[in-house]
Amino acid sequence: MRIPLIAGNWKMNTTVAEATELVHDMLEKLDKIEGVDRILCPPFISLAVVGELLKGSSIKLGAQNMHFEAKGAYTGEISPLMLTSLCEFIILGHSERRWYFGETDEIVSKKVKAALSSGLKPILCVGERPEENEAGRTEEVVSKQINCGLSGIASCPDIVIAYEPIWAIGTGRAASGEGAAATIKFIRTCLASLWNKDIAQGLRILYGGSVTSNNITEFVSQPEIDGALVGGASLKAEEFVSIVSQTAAIKRQPV
Ligand code: PGA
């Protein structure tokens, strides 16, 4: 059984004071929801503060990016070594990193390796651009991202995949539940050929892209979809709590 997971990616939003307030606003309700792993991914500068606030709760912490080297002359970068004492999860290969900051599959793969060898749990993001989607190239694009991103990596139950079609991120134009589930099913077949069927069945694959409290059930009612990576809607306490509690209710039902 795969434990459902909802992660909030706050992106480049919230000052330390705002991050503190946001956690205060959601902590009590979020902590009580059972049956779903809940992860908050604030900006680097708020990791320590948010980590303190989450202490003693069941909510986990993640970062949004990292360098693959442990240390060195990389001005402005954050290393896996710096993160291990602060958080458990790390979002890698987010499309905003790939397209605004030129992260290639090779770089993403180095980051996944570095995360796993440092004991961080990677949330590897994949997804196609609008023109690739329109040209029917979704499977080709995500299989390349999966195969390159995970090449040379031994299977690990801690790896989480997030399928985030770029045309759906921050646009208010989410994929359909069925469409997302079909691509996620395909991603599982890629993981099965990379490792094996049992491992692929055990790994969690999330959907991301304009998820809100109004459409979350469409995604999590699909057995293939194990949860969501939520951007904008994770910045509103009530909205995020609602997304998590609806997921818990749906995934609790016997299929
Ligand atoms: P969104 O972002 O929910 O704001 O579309 C999702 C993401 O980029 O992870």
Cβ neighbors of 154 (< 8 A, separation 6 or more) are none
Query: Which pLDDT does position 255 carry in this prediction?
Result: 53
Cβ neighbors of 93 (< 8 A, separation 6 or more) are 103, 105, 108, 111, 112, 124, 125, 126, 145, 149
Would the CB of 126 count as within 6 Å of ligand 1? no
70, pLDDT greater than 60: yes
Would the CB of 208 count as within 6 Å of ligand 1? yes
Query: Which pLDDT does position 253 carry in this prediction?
Result: 75
DSSP state of 75: T
**DSSP characters for 159-224?**
-EEEE--GGGTTTS-PPPHHHHHHHHHHHHHHHHHHS-HHHHHHSEEEEESS--TTTHHHHHTSTT
Query: Which pLDDT does position 184 carry in this prediction?
Result: 98
pLDDT tens track for 74-95: 999 999 999 999 999 999 999 9
pLDDT tens track for 27-46: 999 999 999 999 999 999 99
Atom of ligand 1 nearest to the CA of 232: 4
Give distance in angstroms: CA of 159 to centre of ligand 1.
Answer: 19
CATH number of the domain within which 195 lies:
3.20.20.70
Arithmetic mean of pLDDT over the chain: 97
Confidence band of 254 (pLDDT split at 50, 70, 90): low
Cα→Cα distances 52→19, 32, 55, Å: 12, 18, 5
Which of 31, 43, 36 is closest to 7 using CA atoms? 36
Q: What is the mean pLDDT of residues 165-176?
A: 95
pLDDT tens track for 99-114: 999 999 999 999 999 9
Which of 35, 40, 37 is closest to 24 using CA atoms? 40
Give distance in angstroms: CA of 103 to centre of ligand 1.
Answer: 18
Burial class from Cβ neighbours inside 10 Å (0-12, 13-18, 19+) for residue 119 reads exposed
Global pTM reads: 0.97
Range(s) of the domain holding residue 99: 5-252
d(CA 187, CA 197): 12
Q: What is the mean pLDDT of residues 223-247?
A: 98
Tokens, residue 42: 């604030």
> Of all protein residues, whose CA lies closest to atom 3 belonging to ligand 1?
231
Query: Which pLDDT does position 158 carry in this prediction?
Result: 95
> Of all protein residues, whose CA lies closest to atom 1 belonging to ligand 1?
231
189, pLDDT greater than 60: yes
Burial class from Cβ neighbours inside 10 Å (0-12, 13-18, 19+) for residue 168 reads buried
pLDDT tens track for 196-233: 999 999 999 999 999 999 999 999 999 999 999 999 99
Q: What is the domain count for the chain?
A: 1
Would the CB of 234 count as within 6 Å of ligand 1? no
Is 105 within 8 Å of 149 (Cβ atoms)? yes
